[in-house]
Amino acid sequence: MPRQRTRRQARITRWLAGLIMAALALPYAARAVDAGLQRQREEFAQAYAEAQRGDPGWVRAARGLRDYPLYPYLEAAWLLHDPDRDDAARVRAYLAHYGNLIPGREVRRAWLDALIRQRNWTRYLEFYAPHLGSAYDCRALQARVELGGTLVYDGRFEALWLRPRLPDACAALLDRAAEQGLLTPARLWVRIELAVRAGAAGTVKQTAAWLPASQRAGALRLALALDDSASALAGAAQWPDTVHARQALVLALTRRARADADAARAAWDALRGHFNLDTSQRDRVEAALALFAATSFEPGSLRALAALPDAAQNALTRAWRVRVALARGDWQAVLTAVRAMPRAQRENNEWRYFEARALAKLGHKAQAEARWRALARSPTYYGFLAADRVRRDYALCPRDPPASAAALAAVRADAGLRRAFEWYALHRLTHARREWNDALPGLDAAQRYAAALLAHRRGWVDRPIFLLDQGENLRDYSLRFPLAERRQVLRDARAAGIDPAWVYATIRTESAWVSNARSGANAIGLMQLLPVTAAQLAHRDGLPWAGADSLVDPGVNIRFGTRYLAHLADRFGGQWLASAAYDAGPQILQHWLDARPDLPADVFVATIPYAETRSYVESTLAFSVVYDWRLAQDPVRISARMLPMGVAYRVPDAQAPHAAVVCSVADLAAQGGTPPPERLPAPPARGAPAPTASVAVPAPAENRR
């Protein structure tokens, strides 16, 4: 084995052993585990480290671990240390016991990879199993061909062929299919169309190579439109007026409009006479041009959106017709645009709210207030805004039912969840989530709820957020809006001079309490901080900084995240503006402010061009209400968190307007209960512990950013 690999594995082994031993020292572990389990964890740490470095002594160290939940990982680690060793009997025996578990699937993949390197096709088919991924499915078909079998188009090959993206491991199989004449032009174009819809330019180019020469150029134009729409449009005047050239032109124009609506419009004006597009294609182009001009609030964009024929309209063009009218302060145009929406879209809370806003501005106060009163029953961002407009209480109706004893017993006995909880106790969060997700499909609804409750009780607070994300579960506020790291949040918020409910809401929106979350942009931890931002804060504020990896530590992450929120609040003023800057970046927010100064807060939020940032600000504001309720049962009204531009940020205090919280008759009826007293019990003193509350905002996807 190469020396470099040995050293790397040694470093990993030392890191793992240190991490596990550190986890064993956590106060939770000391309180929650008995001496026998504590001893097993220590023995597992030793045995796992030995197995990972290929030391057969792991067997001796694991003698007392047969009933330990993570025992299957030990032999897997030893087998994975050197998958090229010729030990088929041992691999076969291991897979017979644990082949369906996560470590078993890892061993099987590694063993199959080794067999491919050896070109041992017979043994590959012996150890192959479905559901390991496209690469292994392709190689299984390839193995059958290598052993004299015949490749046919239907069945397994067709299922692979109709996937718009395939790994490089499938290249040899596809070449064989082409050699055997299976890749007819009709089948090639089916795959190209799927790849175009998926935006998979690489697949289009790969597939085009098998087309007849006379058809290849058409496919490559589609790939160019996906890859480089500007270059495609620059050369489009030389294209023939064919079916696929028209398709490529429409694709290039719609993609170019997203990046530069003016350039796309100029190209369309120059090229429209060269191609005989049908009505639906012209509508697609005009809709894209109008939409992306609107997202930049260009002059004439409102007129262009209104002029689109019904067939060219979609949910986005209709929504942006309202947003542009809002940005212009044209309330009659707002009302007209909302009422031009199909009924289902118009019933969205956002458009219900702005329809009422337009009615009020146009002098129809009674109609507006009636609509706001109805919307105020909704525990959402726009429901809270509507309640503030008519000075109504907030309609938060907590539900916190206990899990059944039978469901809890089943969850505690479930082997997969036992492994998940054990990895969590060892602070191996990625391993824990993999086992959790693997176990969930085998649980019924009651057991899923029990699993969420048990995870919450054990401090794994992000699991209920992802599990309880629809229906009546949205009312389980204590599980969906945990008050984890409370001492740290309160202390750091106070030190930074910002509202702790805002800090909690930011954590909930950013990471949903996944402490080791990492985005594609390398934002890390609970508050999703970029290392470069944290380093700048450390320099500016004199904070101790131990590098990017330290941001996985909740204490470090919250300390830096609260300081960053405070700096943004000092720069921009309101919580709502600082949250927009936190998500989109200060420079981008400043660009929006320069373009649309002096808009009311609710209108500015609705006209944020980035859908993610718009949703982010709405969620953070709504979650602030919930966390204010959770912390003190006395939430500050959402409008008090949305002060006008130019007003300096300040922590809401007793003088800020507060909202009482009621569980409405309508809400109770929806969950089959009897009407409660008109009000919940009087709130305790601010800062005291409180029962839970929640909003009906869906949970984020894991690692969404």
Give the phi and the psi of residue 549 in degrees, each rounded to 5.
Answer: -60, -25
Q: How confident is the model at residue 33 (pLDDT cuts 50, 70, 90)?
A: low
Q: Give the model's pLDDT for residue 9.
A: 47
What is the mean predicted confidence (pLDDT) over 546-571?
Answer: 97
What is the mean predicted confidence (pLDDT) over 392-406?
Answer: 90
All residues at 6 or more sequence positions from 694 whose CB lies less than 8 Å from its CB, including other chains: 379, 396, 398, 474, 475, 476, 477, 480, 481, 626
- pLDDT tens digits for 41-63? 999 999 999 999 999 999 999 99
What is the mean predicted confidence (pLDDT) over 98-119?
Answer: 97
Strand partners for 658: 636
- pLDDT tens digits for 436-494? 999 999 999 999 999 999 999 999 999 999 999 998 899 999 999 999 999 999 999 99
Q: Which of 645, 386, 643 is nearest to 499 (CA)?
A: 643
Examine the pLDDT at 6 and tell me if it is beyond 50: no
Average model confidence (pLDDT) for the chain?
90
Has this prediction a pTM greater than 0.75? Answer: yes
- pLDDT tens digits for 439-455? 999 999 999 999 999 99
Q: Give the model's pLDDT for residue 668.
A: 44
User: What does the H/E/C string look like for 274-290?
Assistant: HCCCCHHHHHHHHHHHH
Structure tokens that stand for 231 in this block: 């270059």
Structure tokens that stand for 298 in this block: 């260009």
Q: Give the model's pLDDT for residue 403.
A: 87
Say which residue the tokens 């961002």 belong to: 381
User: What does the H/E/C string look like for 462-489?
Assistant: HHHHHHCCCHHHHHCHHHHCCCCCHHHH
What is the mean predicted confidence (pLDDT) over 251-276?
Answer: 96
Q: Give the model's pLDDT for residue 698.
A: 40
Decide if 104 contacts 76 (C-beta within 8 A): yes
Q: Give the model's pLDDT for residue 36.
A: 87
- pLDDT tens digits for 293-343? 999 999 999 999 999 999 999 999 999 999 999 999 999 999 999 999 999
- pLDDT tens digits for 412-429? 999 999 999 999 999 999
Examine the pLDDT at 12 and tell me if it is beyond 60: no
Decide if 502 contacts 565 (C-beta within 8 A): yes
Examine the pLDDT at 408 and tell me if it is beyond 70: yes
Examine the pLDDT at 10 and tell me if it is beyond 70: no
Examine the pLDDT at 182 and tell me if it is beyond 70: yes
Helix (H, G, I), strand (E, B) or coil at 182: coil
Q: Give the model's pLDDT for residue 85.
A: 86
pLDDT > 70 in the chain, percent: 89
